[in-house]
Structure 1
Amino acid sequence: MESDRAAMDMERQSGGYGITHRLSAWAVHIFTGSGVVLGLLALLAIVEGNPRMVFLWLGIALVVDGVDGTFARRAKVKDVLPAIDGSALDLVIDYMTYVVVPAVFLYWFGLLPPHMGLVGAGWILLTSLYCFANTGMKSSDNYFVGFPAIWNVVALYLWLLDLDPWFNVAVIAVLGLLTFTPVKFLHPFRVRTLMTLNIVVVSAWLVSGAWLVVTYPERPGLVFGVWLATSAYYAVMCLWRTVRGPG
């Protein structure tokens, strides 16, 4: 009798969805949750002094984060498993892979000047807290409002470009400040305007970036050109949306 009552309660909580729907929803959450394991693997790669593997794991985590929302909507996870907050789960994992791991990376591999590593890493962690806690993080057309704490991407640029450590400090300082501004940043998987083109461009950026990680410190001309061109496209889209004004 108790088991029947428990089953009925579970059925009511899931809106009457069957076992197949619940298993699909749990599978999506597990897929999203794999990001925290990928973050752990990236941290271990930092300790082992292997930057290539750091970006391999972070790259996979980036792909998981880019597509899990689509899977969640198709599986109707909010309706099937209403007791599980997928948004909170996603934010926890993103803070690890987008913020904590890159901050440790910049500190560990000396991309910041002596005695500035801890300051820079702390700045990244603190400013990102505002981004993740900001209820106005997204505009009505799904652009990020303020720098969206994509420090994994920043760390990749600073490592591949091998810039002066003091220049890196300036970059980190400016981006951290942009967190608190109305500057718009493109979300290639959510913004509907030019979505297909955005996805093609970001895919080219991912492939060319992965190629550069593998061949580092060499920069094959064509691949490096594609990487820079796709980066410029992203910057132009952000600038265009920012200039266009509120929304």
Structure 2
Amino acid sequence: MALKATAGRSVDGSYGIGRRLSAWGVHAFTASGVVLGLLALLAAVGGDAKACLGWLGLALVVDGVDGTLARRASVKEVLPGIDGSVLDLVIDYLTYVVVPAVFLYRFGLFPTGFGIPLAAWVLMTSLYCFSNTGMKSGDNYFVGFPAIWNVVALYLWILDLDPWINTAVVLVLGVLTFSTVKFLHPFRVRKMMHLNIAVSAAWLASSAALVVLHPDRPDVAWAVWLASGVYYVAVCAWRTLRGDARG
């Protein structure tokens, strides 16, 4: 029986150059996050909080959409020798954990003398999250605090709370890393996905406005930012109280 080329494959079962280039392009897009992380780190060291948060915001966008692109390009099948999940985790640890820990320390968001121990707390607790094979529930919620310290750094910087309050927040979130509290993944949870993505877009836009205009807080951006945050907390609380769910 003659072999036929299907789904972009040649007759011998391999993928064509177009499919392979598309898959490599997705990996390159994901890898760009490490460059954004470097720029954010340099901005933090240089004392430019706005630039640091801006680069982290761009890295967050890349991380938010690269998974969808990877699935559409079937990168696992086209390039089985490259583990995109590992690539993503390596970059995420830089942009979600390392740079935010430096940010929290560099811009005095911790009490004097406690900066390094608290930054170490952020780094150490996050290792459990990134190595935990059960970090996702069956319906794609994160189980335990998902080490989104970039978001935490943004909130603490904009809210300008007392350093001791920041300390309490960081300690509690670190402990929640080891809990079964559910946290929303707006791009993977199928229930109300369109609403979740819309709220995420509104949050991102309002966050950008508040960073650029800081220390000013325009009423509309401030209201959208707070409301979107309340929405996330409400969804996470509802899913946690509902208990375990199968996908």
TM-score range, shorter chain: over 0.9
Partner of 1:201: 199
Q: Larger helix proportion, structure 1 or 2?
A: 1
d(CA) in 2 for partners of 1:35 and 1:101? 12
- After TM superposition, give the deviation of residue 235 of structure 1 in Å: 0.3
Q: 1:15 deviation in Å?
A: 4.8
Q: Is the 8 A contact 1:102 1:155 kept in 2?
A: yes
Shift of 1:202: 0.6
**Deviation, structure 1 residue 41:** 0.2
Match of 1:232 in 2: 230
- In the superposition, the TM-score normalised over structure 1's length comes to 0.94
Give the Å deviation of 1:33: 0.2
1:119 alignment partner, SS class:
helix
**Partner of residue 59, structure 2:** 61
Match of 2:150 in 1: 152
> d(CA) in 1 for partners of 2:170 and 2:162?
13
Gaps of 5+ in 2: 1-8
Alignment of 1:20-39 (within 5 A): 20-39=18-37
State how far apart, in whole Å, the 1-side matches of 2:244 and 2:51 are. Answer: 40
Shift of 1:47: 1.6
1:183 is displaced (CA, Å) by 0.1
The two structures have a TM-score, normalised by structure 2, of 0.94
Question: Which residue in 1 is equivalent to 2:122?
Answer: 124
1:48 matched residue in structure 2: 46
Task: State the match for 1:219 in structure 2.
Answer: 217
Q: Which residue of 1 aligns with 2:176?
A: 178
Are positions 1:244 and 2:204 aligned together?
A: no
**What is the RMSD computed on CA atoms of the aligned residues?**
1.2
Deviations 1:116-141 (A, max 9, x none): 10011000000000000000000000
Q: Distance in 1 between matches of 2:52 and 2:146?
A: 21
C-alpha separation between the residues in 1 aligned to 2:190 and 2:176? Answer: 24
The runs of at least 4 aligned residues of structure 1 exceeding 2 Å deviation read none
After superposition, what is the alpha-carbon deviation per residue over 1:76-108, rounded to whole angstroms, capped at 9, x for unaligned? 100010000000000000000000000000011
Tell whether 2:80 aligns with 1:82.
yes
- Inter-partner Cα distance in structure 1 for 2:238 and 2:186: 14
Q: Give a deviation string over 1:190-242, Cα, whole Å, max 9, x none.
A: 00000000000010000001000011011111210110000000000000000
Task: Tell me, in whole angstroms, the C-alpha distance in 1 between the residues paired with 2:104 and 2:80.
Answer: 38
Q: Secondary structure at the match of 2:136?
A: coil
Quote the offset at 1:246 in angstroms. Answer: 1.0
Number of equivalenced pairs: 236
Q: Distance in 2 between matches of 1:70 and 1:165?
A: 38
Compared CA separation, residues 128 and 67, structure 1 to 2 (3 A): same
5+ residue gaps, structure 1: 1-10
Q: CA–CA distance in 2 between the matches of 1:47 and 1:168? A: 20
User: What do the CA deviations read for 1:52-92 (whole angstroms, capped 9, x no partner)?
Assistant: 11111000000000000011011110001000000000000
Contact 1:15 1:79 in 2 (8 A): no
